[in-house]
């Protein structure tokens, strides 16, 4: 098998006594992957290290099987959308993207054509000749996005790309990110807003205080959190009976009645409790109308991890 | 096909040699030339040359009623070019501070390194591009005006007489060469300060301190040691000595010898290049 698009092994980065990244290892293939974590988790540091902008204190990052170090040729295949508003405000959107296209080595004509195409793709064709200083924050974000995709990169690294976008822009940009992933590109999207990433992909990397705490789908991430209690919400016409039966189970940590028809069960083994609920409902021991996990959405996972 | 194999999508274009360098230089030039202050300082930088041309024009008797009888009798000698370039040095410094101090510092401040170095661009190309743009601008207010004066002087002859281009051709490489050395060294110093500062303003202040202090410190050391060679540590004296050598003029009062000035300039340039290169290094692995 050929090398993954991005491979990071034992990557650490510290600033004085502050550890921004600690022993992070990951492999990234085609498709969209979300890089999640609260502010200060080390997402931007990871992206900057991967793009060679920051030297790692330890470890190594490889792109397309080759080390990032002293290898700028690799960046012909990488598009990077930084979080910072790194703009030359005196330029128009087209001039800005074209200048960066020239840095990729494209000739004047091709740079212009690619820049126009990229701006069109991010929905800014009608703003191409506006000065960047006059663009809204969301539009500036899209200009940054355009410069990242102008050269058809195989790996796209997007650092908080949806910041400052209004809902319509955000949805359009999400569609674009999804389509880039479907084209076979590897896309790593960092965000601290979970629903954004959840709407994009079901593959995640979860960074917390510089450490990679989990990777995979929501279920995989959930799987590594066995020691953290999960909550199952059960709708039943007889909550007292259900609560009583559940309280006797060994894996149940707590039971709470919420209103007239709802019981919340806290457990470390949700799968076992679900099996018991199924069999108990089938045997008539308890009556169950609906069961769902209260904390299977990313926001809840995130809260649990940060706690 | 293995799931990770994206080789079939490999981008197939090849960069032209030095393409990144030219792109950075172009970008840098455009940024500089858009500023109103750059244009004003640029115009001011040409004042000594234009003044010299006006002086030559009047002296040539081209204006009716002026000039010596029988036409032209005055030509610029190497000494006058030396003085002209001395004047230019003042504007050069002001211009270098205004245009060059933010060249790298502002890129750093605005996180533009992230845009530059997430592209197939080496730090050498980046630094080279910035250097090239600044040298071009500085040469345009030092070497170029001096060459313009030479051209004007050589072509301004009474009717019927041959031009003086051939006669004064030896001045051409001297003016161009000295202008280039002056511009390149100054550009290197300014960029070294710029690369090691967080903002253009800081770089400008550091450079001004360096320039202002180097001269009295060198003079003081010269007094203490009794050696004229030490005076070459002063920015002004150093270039003065080089200029005198280039235009074959005698050493000035307490002027440092040419060899000392050349050695100081080379060492300072090497130090500045090292500082510049170390500060602009996007990829470095510490193990």
The pLDDT of residue B1 is 35
* Residue A221: predicted pLDDT: 67
Q: How confident is the model at residue A39 (pLDDT cuts 50, 70, 90)?
A: confident
pLDDT confidence band for B182 (50 / 70 / 90):
very high
**Cβ contacts of residue B277 below 8 Å, gap of 6+?**
B123, B124, B127
pLDDT at A301 over 70: no
pLDDT at residue A271 greater than cutoff 60:
yes
Which chain B residues are Cβ-neighbours of A74 within 8 angstroms? 120
Q: Tell me if B75 is assigned to some domain.
A: no
Contacts 24+ apart (CB under 8 A), A113-117: A114/A150, A114/A151, A115/A146, A115/A150, A117/A150
In this prediction, residue B283 has a pLDDT band, given cuts at 50, 70 and 90, of very low
- B117 interface with A at CB cutoff 8 Å: yes
Enumerate the residues of chain A whose CB falls inside 8 A of the CB of residue B4: 1-5, 29-30
Residue B136 lies in a domain: yes
User: Which residues does chain A have within 8 Å of residue B34's beta carbon, measured at their own beta carbons?
Assistant: 90
Q: How far apart are CA A242 and CA A246, in angstroms?
A: 6
Do residue A90 and residue B34 have CB atoms under 8 angstroms apart? yes
Question: Tens of pLDDT along A179-217?
Answer: 999 988 999 999 877 777 878 888 888 888 888 888 887
Contact of B25 with chain A, judged by CB distance below 8 Å, is answered with no
Buried b (16+ CB within 10 A) or exposed e, A130-150: eebeebeebbbbbbbbbbbbb
Q: What is the pLDDT of residue A17?
A: 80
Looking at residue A19, its pLDDT comes to: 86
User: Which residue in chain B has the smallest CA separation from A106?
Assistant: B15
Instruction: With CB atoms and an 8 Å threshold, state whether B115 touches A106.
Output: no
Best mutation target among A8, A50, A72 (most B Cβ atoms within 10 Å) is A72
Q: Which domains does chain A have, with CATH numbers?
A: 6-218 (3.40.50.300), 230-306 (3.30.70)
Q: Are A105 and B5 an interchain contact pair (Cβ–Cβ within 8 Å)?
A: no
Of A190, A161, A191, A8, residue with least CA distance to A84: A161
Give residues with Cβ within 8 angstroms of A83, minimum separation 6: A44, A159, A160, A163, A190
Mean pLDDT over residues A22-43, rounded? Answer: 88
**Bigger pLDDT: B217 vs A223:** B217
Q: Over range B23-37, report the average pLDDT.
A: 88
Q: For residue A38, give how far its alpha carbon lies from the nearest alpha carbon of chain B (Å).
A: 22
Give chain B positions within 8 Å (CB) of A64.
6
B159 touching A, CB under 8 A?
Answer: no
Selecting from B9, B16, B119 the residue whose C-beta is nearest the C-beta of A100 gives B119
B111–A84 CB contact, under 8 Å: yes
Q: Give A-chain residues touching B26 at CB under 8 angstroms.
A: 99, 102
Q: B117 vs A69: CB contact, 8 Å cut-off?
A: no
User: Where is mean pLDDT largest: A247-251, B52-56, B68-72?
Assistant: B52-56
Q: Is A259 left (phi over 0), alpha (psi -120 to 50) or beta?
A: left
User: In this complex, is the C-beta atom of B104 within 8 Å of any C-beta atom belonging to chain A?
Assistant: no
Distance CA B266, CA B272 (A): 10
> What per-residue confidence (pLDDT) applies to B111?
82
pLDDT of residue B286: 38
Q: How far is B22 from chain A (nearest CA, A)?
A: 9
- Would you say residue B272 lies in a domain? yes
* Mutant choice from B111, B285, B286, B287 vs A, greatest count of A C-beta within 10 A: B285
pLDDT at A105 over 60: yes
Residues B42-70 have a mean pLDDT of 76
Interchain CB contact of B254 with A (< 8 Å)? no
ipTM (interface predicted TM)? 0.74
- Give the pLDDT score at B285: 38
> Chain A contacts of B2, Cβ < 8 Å?
1-2
pLDDT value of position B224: 92
When CB atoms are compared, the residue of B11, B14, B23 closest to A151 is B11
Residue B173 lies in a domain: yes
* Mean predicted confidence (pLDDT) in A13-30: 88
* pLDDT of the residue at B6: 41
Distance between CA atoms of A53 and A64, rounded to whole angstroms? Answer: 17
Share of chain B above pLDDT 70, in %: 86
Q: Which residues of A touch B36 (CB under 8 A)?
A: none
Q: Is B187's pLDDT higher than 90?
A: yes
Which structural domain range is residue B128 located in? 23-43+89-140+168-279
In chain A, pLDDT over 70 holds for what percent of residues? 91
pLDDT for B2 beyond 50 = no
Q: Can you tell me the mean pLDDT for B203-231?
A: 90
Q: Which residue from A minimizes the CA distance to B129?
A: A103
Q: Are A105 and B34 within 8 A, CB to CB?
A: no
Cα separation, B41 vs B96, whole angstroms? 10
Compute the nearest-CA separation of B280 from chain A (Å). 11
Angle at B98 between CA B95 and CA B99, to 5 degrees: 85
Nearest chain A residue (CA) to B14: A105
Other Cβ atoms less than 10 A from the Cβ of B37: the count is 11
Nearest CA in chain A to B281: A53
SS3 B265: helix
Taking an 8 Å cut-off on Cβ atoms, the answer to whether B6 and A64 are in contact is yes
Q: Does B1 touch chain A (CB under 8 A)?
A: no
Q: Nearest by CB to A69, which of B11, B34, B285?
A: B285
How distant, in Å, are the alpha carbons of B215, B225, B243, B264 from that of B222? 10, 5, 20, 14
Residues A118, A124, A125, A131: is their CA dihedral positive or negative?
negative
Asked if residue B249 is part of any domain, the answer here is: yes
| Chain B residues in contact with A99 (beta carbon < 8 A) | 23, 26-27
Length in residues, chain A = 307
Number of compact structural domains in chain B = 1
| Distance, C-alpha A155 to centroid of its chain | 15
Among A1, A53, A154, select the one facing B114 at the smallest CB separation: A53
How many Cβ pairs within 8 Å bridge chains A and B? 132
**Which residues neighbour B126 within 8 Å (Cβ) at sequence distance 6 or greater?**
B20, B24, B116, B117, B280
Q: Does pLDDT of A223 surpass 80?
A: no
Predicted confidence at residue A303, as pLDDT, reads: 66
Q: Does B283 touch chain A (CB under 8 A)?
A: yes
Across the interface, whether the CB atoms of A1 and B115 are under 8 A apart is answered: no
């Amino acid at each position: 098998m050929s090398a993954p698009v991005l491979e990071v092994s034992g990557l650490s980065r510290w600033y004085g006594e502050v550890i921004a990244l600690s022993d992070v290892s990951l492999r990234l293939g085609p498709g969209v992957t979300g890089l999640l974590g609260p502010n200060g988790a080390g997402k931007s540091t990871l992206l900057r290290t991967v793009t060679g902008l920051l030297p790692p204190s330890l470890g190594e990052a490889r792109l397309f099987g080759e080390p990032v170090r002293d290898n700028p040729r690799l960046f012909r295949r990488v598009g990077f959308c930084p979080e910072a508003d790194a703009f030359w405000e005196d330029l128009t959107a087209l001039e800005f993207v074209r200048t960066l296209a020239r840095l990729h080595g494209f000739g004047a004509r091709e740079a212009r054509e690619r820049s126009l195409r990229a701006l069109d793709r991010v929905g800014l064709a009608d703003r191409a000749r506006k000065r960047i200083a006059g663009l809204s924050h969301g539009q500036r974000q899209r200009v940054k996005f355009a410069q990242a995709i102008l050269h058809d990169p195989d790996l796209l690294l997007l650092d908080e790309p949806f910041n400052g976008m209004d809902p319509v822009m955000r949805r359009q940009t999400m569609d674009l990110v999804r389509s880039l992933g479907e084209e076979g590109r590897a896309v790593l999207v960092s965000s601290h807003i979970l629903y954004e990433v959840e709407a994009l992909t079901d593959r995640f990397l979860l960074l917390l205080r510089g450490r990679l705490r989990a990777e995979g789908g929501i279920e995989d991430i959930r799987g590594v959190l066995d020691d953290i209690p999960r909550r199952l919400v059960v709708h039943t016409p007889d909550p007292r009976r259900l609560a009583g039966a559940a309280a006797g189970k060994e894996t149940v940590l707590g039971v709470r009645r919420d209103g007239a028809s709802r019981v919340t069960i806290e457990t470390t083994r949700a799968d076992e409790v679900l099996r018991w609920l199924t069999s108990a409902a089938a045997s008539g021991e308890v009556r169950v109308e609906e069961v769902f996990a209260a904390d299977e959405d990313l926001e809840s996972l995130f809260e649990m991890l940060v706690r | 096909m293995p799931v990770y194999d994206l080789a079939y999508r490999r981008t197939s274009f090849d960069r032209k040699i030095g393409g990144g360098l030219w792109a950075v230089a172009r970008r840098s030039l455009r940024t500089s030339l858009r500023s109103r202050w750059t244009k004003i300082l640029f115009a001011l930088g040409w004042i000594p040359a234009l003044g010299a041309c006006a002086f030559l024009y009047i002296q040539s008797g081209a204006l009716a009623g002026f000039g010596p009888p029988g036409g032209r009798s005055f030509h610029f000698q190497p000494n006058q070019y030396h003085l002209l370039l001395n004047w230019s040095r003042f504007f050069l410094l002001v211009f270098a501070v205004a245009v060059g101090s933010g060249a790298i510092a502002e890129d750093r401040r605005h996180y533009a390194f992230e845009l530059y170095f997430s592209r197939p661009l080496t730090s050498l190309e980046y630094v080279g591009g910035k250097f090239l743009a600044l040298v071009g601008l500085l040469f345009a207010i030092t070497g170029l005006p001096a060459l313009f004066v030479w051209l004007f002087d050589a072509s301004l002859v009474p009717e019927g007489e041959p031009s003086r281009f051939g006669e004064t051709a030896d001045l051409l490489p001297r003016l161009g060469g000295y202008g280039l050395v002056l511009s390149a060294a100054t550009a290197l110093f300014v960029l070294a300060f710029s690369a090691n500062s967080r903002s253009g303003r800081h770089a400008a202040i550091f450079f001004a301190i360096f320039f202002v202090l180097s001269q009295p410190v060198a003079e003081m050391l010269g007094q203490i040691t009794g050696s004229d060679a030490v005076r070459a540590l002063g920015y002004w004296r150093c270039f003065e000595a080089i200029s005198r050598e280039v235009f074959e003029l005698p050493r000035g009062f307490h002027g440092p010898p040419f060899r000392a000035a050349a050695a100081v300039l080379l060492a300072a340039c090497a130090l500045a290049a090292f500082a510049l290169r170390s500060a602009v290094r996007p990829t470095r692995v510490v193990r």
